[in-house]
Structure 1
């Protein structure tokens, strides 16, 4: 019977040698392939890690609509500053920024809205000195000024000026103090109303100069200024930019400015400190705050952006039209300033025996 199956062929010695060589070659090549694969994986992982380490953190994102609340009517200095800042803020954040006026209760209504808002950068407060005066002036506020807000930046400041009617014989602050001490209680100073910034500036002057002068409150700064111009009121403190026209016409005389440094608008006029009332400072200033979120990426981003904005030539030019000096304090430095101002004005209010409302 024929065997149709081919007989099994046994490999020769040469064939066995060739087969072994091929096997070793495949093993070596396979080993090298495995090693290459491992090194490739390691290299890829290394690149990934390096990318994570070397890539800066993604910028803090903000809501599509950011609202800056101004707790005063439209058209005032605070409102104008807020609108100037909003334009630059929109460009820097890449989102829409609007200004919303929520006036009333000396700024407390708008401030409460911000205090109750989400601390995500979508709602901010831009307000004036009232923010640090109100805690000492009101028995109860609908928020805690120290705890419910995170200070972001000092937006700007305006010096007040110590003004006298030309009929007052004092030509400088020292002479005015001497005049007040000669007849205690006879010299009066006016203000826009009880607890206002110009009222408290007068009370601070009274304490620091150790003089007895009487406060005359008016219903607004305009009627007080009218009486000063008319000679019915001997002196008052008021915003320097506001009174520059009257000063230029010779209807009032400026004895000193209340800022730490002299004003660019009237560089020849000394500060109260230079005039002899050492340490006196009582400026009208404006600040930006957000709902409490201290140390958050949102706050850090806002602080950095506001520092850039306030140092820009664009804002300097816009603020110069209002005789406002752009601020330079942000974050912790601004927080320290805010706390010091609250303490200062609360002390003045108590010493002046102004009854809390």
Structure 2
């Protein structure tokens, strides 16, 4: 009977142990999730310090640091149109401590580089969108054309002479220029520069005729009347330049180009870490200091439903479908 007593008590005792162990495991898992982040996070920027993407990154990193309780350290890894940084993050340990902030280059790289070591749509987890930066189509100050219709006529009649600057392969200024060429059915003399700064300097100096660049760089020169502004590249007028018409108003139907930024983590990053980062991103984008800074750059914070993994995933797919066929049709690729 004694043996029978212990025989019947055994399973009940074992069940209790299992329940207790399960509860402890769940508590440990929750504690681990709550503990993230336990050390500083690195936010990798594909472009040089002081550039538009770097400014957005540093502004946001400071705000996210306050919410996360850990430093978000910005690290610049330049080269190959942003692919060096993207490849680095794609290969990084998927623990939530190495992130990437990138713009349209995530969508265009597969069409520009034959040997890309990562797949933008497959090798990352998505944290969320950040902000959109409108572009402006500008001409040198003494360009004969003054409106979009006049510009279309001018470039059509002088296509062999008109120069169109850009900030280099894969830059959004190049994409904007390609879309303009496609819209007016001409090929102009494209002149690439090593970055947006030199391209803008060339336009200000009258060395090139046209440039499409983002408001983060062009606003001061437009406001000082140093360039001829033809219009903004977004479907609607923008808060930073309410008096400026859109290119669509000027007759370029469907013209829509903007610089967009998103934050990514390596594929396999724990969902709890991604969710925590998304919350920090959303809170950071509500910070009055961040709003003021981005407003001053002409950037527009995206709606909260886009500050999410699904929002960024949807955008990247749509932008890939938009730009990759155009780049391939115009035979634009890296050497």
Give the TM-score, by structure 2 length. Answer: 0.81
Structure with greater contact order relative to length (CA < 8 Å, sep ≥ 6): 2
Match of 2:263 among 288, 296, 312: 288
Whether 1:311 and 2:286 are equivalent positions in the alignment is yes
Q: How far did residue 125 of structure 1 move?
A: 0.8
Query: Residue in 1 aligned with 2:322?
Result: 344
Question: Any residues of structure 2 matched to 1:29-44 within 5 Å, and which?
Answer: none
**Aligned CA distance change for structure 1 residues 300 and 63 (closer, same or farther; 3 Å):** closer
**Secondary structure in 1 matching 2:109:** helix
CA distance in 1, matches of 2:42, 2:293: 21
Checking the alignment, whether the CA contact within 8 Å between 1:200 and 1:348 is kept in structure 2 is no
**Secondary structure in 1 matching 2:257:** coil
Checking the alignment, whether the CA contact within 8 Å between 2:130 and 2:285 is kept in structure 1 is yes
**Secondary structure in 1 matching 2:110:** helix
**Aligned CA distance change for structure 1 residues 299 and 255 (closer, same or farther; 3 Å):** same
Query: Residue in 2 aligned with 1:62?
Result: 36
Structure 2 unaligned residues grouped into runs of 5+: 1-22
Q: Which moved more, 1:268-277 or 1:176-185?
A: 176-185
Q: How far did residue 290 of structure 1 move?
A: 0.8
**Aligned CA distance change for structure 1 residues 164 and 115 (closer, same or farther; 3 Å):** same
Checking the alignment, whether the CA contact within 8 Å between 1:62 and 1:122 is kept in structure 2 is no
Q: Which moved more, 1:252-261 or 1:66-75?
A: 66-75
CA distance in 1, matches of 2:319, 2:270: 22
CA distance in 2, matches of 1:86, 1:184: 44
Q: How far did residue 201 of structure 1 move?
A: 0.8
Structure 1 unaligned residues grouped into runs of 5+: 1-48
Match of 1:264 among 232, 236, 239: 239
Checking the alignment, whether the CA contact within 8 Å between 2:147 and 2:230 is kept in structure 1 is yes
Checking the alignment, whether the CA contact within 8 Å between 2:46 and 2:102 is kept in structure 1 is yes
Q: How far did residue 316 of structure 1 move?
A: 0.4
Q: Say what the alpha-carbon RMSD is for the aligned residues.
A: 2.5
Q: How far did residue 170 of structure 1 move?
A: 2.1
Give the TM-score, by structure 1 length. Answer: 0.76
**Secondary structure in 2 matching 1:289:** strand
Whether 1:187 and 2:165 are equivalent positions in the alignment is no
Question: Any residues of structure 2 matched to 1:5-154 within 5 Å, and which?
Answer: 60-65=34-39, 66-154=41-129
Larger Rg belongs to: 1
Whether 1:224 and 2:202 are equivalent positions in the alignment is no
Question: Any residues of structure 2 matched to 1:192-231 within 5 Å, and which?
Answer: 192-231=167-206
Query: Residue in 2 aligned with 1:239?
Result: 214
Whether 1:332 and 2:306 are equivalent positions in the alignment is no
